[in-house]
Amino acid sequence: MHQRSFTVDGPGTLIGRTIAYTEWGAETNPRVLVCAHGLTRVGRDFDVLAGALCSDYRVICPDAAGRGASGWLPGAADYSYAQYLADTAALLAEIGATEVDWLGTSMGGFLGLMLAASKSSPIRRMVMNDIGPFLPQASLLRISGYLSKDQTFADVGELESYLRKIHAPFGALTDSQWRHMAAHSTRPAGEAAGGGIKLHYDPAIAEAFSLATGADIDVWGLWDKIRCPVLVVRGQESDLLPRETARQMTERGPKAALVEISGCGHAPALMADDQITAVRDWLLDG
């Protein structure tokens, strides 16, 4: 595993800031898997999965703008899918990849959906973890509710307790997995906040996300344009990917394969052996 970063210098990507990513496997492997995390998460969430797949893939796990080790954007309005797509193009150019497999959890899956629907899509095969082309407003409002709380924590243990509560739908993680997640979810709160630590992401992301909660989100038109094979992973108790939406995803557009994960809501953490095996077997089947 190597932690890498580069400075954005291309047009349309808000130049002069850092995009960070974790790389697993041989740099010379032409088979590349990009793992894109959820709204408030980081690329290090995929450490377990990447470790299991790095003998077959060069695995790239970026931190999206405003998260983890990547640079923050100037303001809330800059946190858009247009910007994330531009950053993705910059990342692929940096690693020299013209064709990739894509695994996206939640926001990362929605980004993959948009990229796969484009005319010049670089995606060969795609796994969408608990996300689809229809997002219910009620679920978006639930996420916005915890995202808007810019809390300060005394230490990593207190932050971990908070993550265990708000991310309980991720499933039955081990103590070490929760600790790993917490350890990569912090930033100093600063003297103005009285010390302590905060969650790693730019608070402006909450403002940007709140703009998307005014109604259901429906992009079935994009889904119908996708031509690459798709696997949909759904938490059996998910509120963001309703069962009916998942069913329709198997019947239209790319006619996705579907795997449901028991004991999970939004979204399966993809750390359990059976979840990793399901993803790995499907990816390597093509």
* Structural contact between residues 267 and 169, judged by C-beta atoms closer than 8 angstroms: yes
* Structural contact between residues 64 and 37, judged by C-beta atoms closer than 8 angstroms: yes
Query: CA geometry: angle at 273 spanning 244 and 134, to 5°?
Result: 20
Number of domains in the chain: 1
Q: Please, which pLDDT band fits residue 191 given cuts at 50, 70 and 90?
A: low
Length of the chain: 286
Q: Is residue 104 part of a domain?
A: yes
Closest CA to 8 of 59, 61, 65: 65
Does the structure show a pLDDT above 80 at 190? no
What is the pLDDT, as a whole number, of residue 166?
94
* Residue burial 38-59, b: 16+ Cβ < 10 Å; e: rest: bbbbbbbbbbbbbebbbeebbb
What is the pLDDT, as a whole number, of residue 136?
97
Closest CA to 185 of 161, 165, 201, 167: 201
Lowest-confidence segment of 135-144, 167-176, 186-195, 197-206 by average pLDDT: 186-195
What is the pLDDT, as a whole number, of residue 75?
93
| pTM (predicted TM-score) | 0.96
User: Which two tokens mark 40?
Assistant: 């408030």
Q: Is residue 148 part of a domain?
A: no
Which domain CATH number covers 69?
3.40.50.1820
Output 193 or 159, whichever has higher pLDDT: 159
Does the structure show a pLDDT above 70 at 12? no
Lowest-confidence segment of 2-6, 103-107, 186-190, 257-261 by average pLDDT: 186-190
Enclosing domain of residue 59: 2-134+217-283
Q: Is residue 164 part of a domain?
A: no
- Mean per-residue pLDDT for 170-182? 97
User: Which two tokens mark 100?
Assistant: 């990739």
Does the structure show a pLDDT above 80 at 194? no
Does the structure show a pLDDT above 80 at 46? yes
What is the pLDDT, as a whole number, of residue 39?
97
Tokens 């359990």 sit on residue: 272
Q: Is residue 21 part of a domain?
A: yes
Q: Is residue 177 part of a domain?
A: no
Does the structure show a pLDDT above 80 at 94? yes
**Residues near 218 by beta carbon (within 8 Å), at least 6 away in sequence:** 133, 134, 135
- Mean per-residue pLDDT for 167-187? 97
Q: Is residue 166 part of a domain?
A: no
At residue 230, φ and ψ (nearest 5 deg) are: -135, 135
How does DSSP classify residue 64? P
Average pLDDT over the chain, rounded to whole? 95
Q: Is residue 266 part of a domain?
A: yes
Which pLDDT tens digit goes with each residue over 262-271?
A: 999 999 999 9
Q: Is residue 165 part of a domain?
A: no
User: Which two tokens mark 244?
Assistant: 């009916």
- Mean per-residue pLDDT for 169-194? 91
